[in-house]
Amino acid sequence: MRTAPTILHLDMDAFYASAEQAAKPSLRGKAVVVGGLGPRGVVATASYEARAFGVHSAMPMAQARRLAPNAAYLVPRFGLYREISEQVMGLLHRLSPLVEPLSLDEAFVDLEAGGTGWDEESARATGERLRADIKELTGLTGSVGLAASKMLAKIASEQAKPDGLVLIRPGTERALLGPMSVRVLPGVGPATGDHLRRAGITTVEEIAEAGEDELVRLLGKAHGSALYAMALAQDERPVVAERDAKSVSVEDTYDVDIHDRVRIRLEVQRLADRCVQRLRGAGRSGRTVVLKVRRYDFSTLTRSETLRGPTDDPAVVREAAGRLLEAVDTTGGVRLLGVGVSGLADFTQEDLFAQAAGERAEETEDEEAARQPEGEEPPPAERHWLAGRDVRHAEYGAGWVQGSGLGRVTVRFETPGSPPGRVRTFRTDDPDLEPAEPLPLVPGNGGHAPEPEPGTGPDGGEADGSGGGRGAAEGGRGGVRQGEEAGPSAGCEDGGGHSAGETGEHHTDGGAGTR
Binding residues for Mg(2+): 11, 105
Catalytic residue selected from 106, 173, 493, 502:
106
DSSP state of 114: H
Alpha-carbon span 151 to 233, nearest angstrom: 8
Alpha-carbon span 289 to 196, nearest angstrom: 39
Burial class (CB in 10 A: 0-12, 13-18, 19+), 371: exposed
Does the active-site annotation cover 106?
Answer: yes
User: How would you label 172-192 residue by residue, b for 16+ Cβ within 10 Å and e otherwise?
Assistant: ebeebbbeeebeebeebeeeb
What are residue 411's DSSP bridge partners?
401, 424
The answer to whether the Cα torsion of 366, 370, 374, 380 is positive or negative is negative
Alpha-carbon span 198 to 44, nearest angstrom: 32
**β pairing state of 32-35 and 72-74:** parallel
434 three-state secondary structure: strand
The answer to whether the Cα torsion of 31, 35, 37, 39 is positive or negative is negative
HEC per residue, 2-70: CCCCCEEEEEECCHHHHHHHHHCHHHCCCCEEEECCCCCCEEEEECHHHHCCCCCCCCEHHHHHHHCCC
Q: To 10 degrees, what angle do helices 78-95 and 120-138 make? A: 150
Beta strands in 296-357 (DSSP E): 300-311, 334-345
What residues have CB less than 8 Å from 107, skipping those under 6 apart? 9, 10, 89, 92, 99, 100, 101, 475
User: How would you label 263-276 residue by residue, b for 16+ Cβ within 10 Å and e otherwise?
Assistant: ebbebbbbbbebbb
Closest by Cα among 169, 136, 160 to 11: 160
Q: To 10 degrees, what angle do helices 261-281 and 314-326 make? A: 140
Query: Please, how many CA atoms are within 13 Å of residue 71, restricted to the half-sphere of its CB?
Result: 33
CB atoms within 10 A of CB 367: 9
Query: Please, how many CA atoms are within 13 Å of residue 36, restricted to the half-sphere of its CB?
Result: 32
DSSP state of 187: T
Residue set of the binding site: 11, 105
The answer to whether the Cα torsion of 382, 387, 390, 394 is positive or negative is positive
Which one-letter amino acid corresponds to residue 398? A
Q: Is 239:113 a contact under the CB 8 Å cutoff?
A: yes
Closest by Cα among 105, 139, 76, 149 to 10: 105
| Residues with a known catalytic role | 106
